[in-house]
Amino acid sequence: MSSSTVVQFNIQIGDELTFNVKPLLNEVKHALDKLIETGQSTVIDLRSIPLAPGEEEKILNVLGLGEVQARLDALGLSEVIETRYAGVWIVTHYNDDDHIISRFIEVTSMPEILCSQTEDIMAAYSRLGLTLNDEQKNNVEDS
């Protein structure tokens, strides 16, 4: 099934899309098509595109909120939101002062940053082992 028959952005008559909103949304649509046809993900850096005041908000409004909203605490807050268009995610990174430092539209089945990372899983395995050892030692000492 071609994505062009599936993806229809919810743009209402009367929505005044300024110069860069429509081309960018079309890029997202092409990226969805690529995801469906080849399984290949696309990341669009919103900070690399010239947007007029209000245009970024307009894009976010058109994409809307979907079923998944996740908050990460990793070097400051990050938000990962699936839009109302499945496979289209908004990933926003904040610094410690809650200022946005980067924002991406990711067209993928799962943004990489949401997945547990192999290195962290290995570190977690060691940490849990140490915790259980300590627990065991404490139990022995108590008895």
Note the residues at the interface with another protein (CB under 8 A): 18-20, 43-45, 47-53, 55, 72, 74-76, 78, 91, 93, 95-97, 99-102, 104, 112-113, 116-120, 123
Nearer to another protein, 37 or 112 (CB): 112
CA distance 23 to 52: 14
Q: State the nearest-atom distance from the C-beta of 90 to another protein, in Å.
A: 13
Q: State the nearest-atom distance from the C-beta of 141 to another protein, in Å.
A: 28
CA distance 1 to 37: 9
Nearer to another protein, 13 or 74 (CB): 74
